[in-house]
Amino acid sequence: MGFAFDETMAGTLGRVDSPDEHYPFRFRIAVRADSVLDHLRTGRAEITGEVEAPPLTRFSAPLHGELTIRPVLRRMIRYQFDFAGDDGHTYTFTGQKDIRWTDLVRTWTNMPGEIHDERGHLVATCEARFDLKEDWLSFISSFRPA
């Protein structure tokens, strides 16, 4: 038996070629681990959902990727997913929360990230955060067996 939950993170995106311009950035994901035992061993879970990343996408784009949850042993939670931009190219978002037990709230809710193009070139940097006030209840209530 596995587990599943949903999460939303939002913030800003800044293109590397236009550092003074910032855009809203948001992703909503459904996380699924088919086996608790496998997850405990690897820390990995599949994610699907949608991302809003203008100017790369004008509307929500489907995403698919992986979430690695290792807050105790490796003190990190890593997000990586791919999505198609409006230009038809595939982009990869990678972000990581580096957990510090002396700064729990900030390190569990704030995450820097980067978006790379198909060739691996950095296209944008992102700052995303989990909104405790608005999303805590829906996050906790979304946990379920899978």
Residue 120: inside a domain: yes
Give the domain range for residue 33. Answer: 3-141
Please write the tens of the pLDDT for every residue from 45-78: 999 999 999 999 989 999 999 999 998 888 999 9
Residues 6+ apart with CB under 8 A from 63: 27, 29, 47, 48, 49, 50, 51, 81, 82, 83, 93
pLDDT digits (tens, 9 = 90+) for 71-89: 888 899 999 999 999 999 9
| pTM summary value | 0.94
- Does the structure show a pLDDT above 90 at 19? no
Domain annotation covers residue 84: yes
* Gap between the Cα atoms of 37 and 8, Å rounded: 25
Task: State residue 38's pLDDT score.
Answer: 83
Closest by CA position to 51, among listed 131, 112, 128: 128
Q: Is residue 2 within 8 Å of 146, Cβ to Cβ?
A: yes
> Residue 121: inside a domain, yes or no?
yes
The span from the CA of 68 to the CA of 79, in Å, is 7
Percent of the chain with pLDDT over 70: 100
CATH code for the domain in which residue 90 is found:
2.40.128
| Residue 75 maps to a domain | yes
Q: Which secondary-structure segment (H or E) carries 132?
A: helix 132-141
The H-or-E segment that residue 55 falls in is none
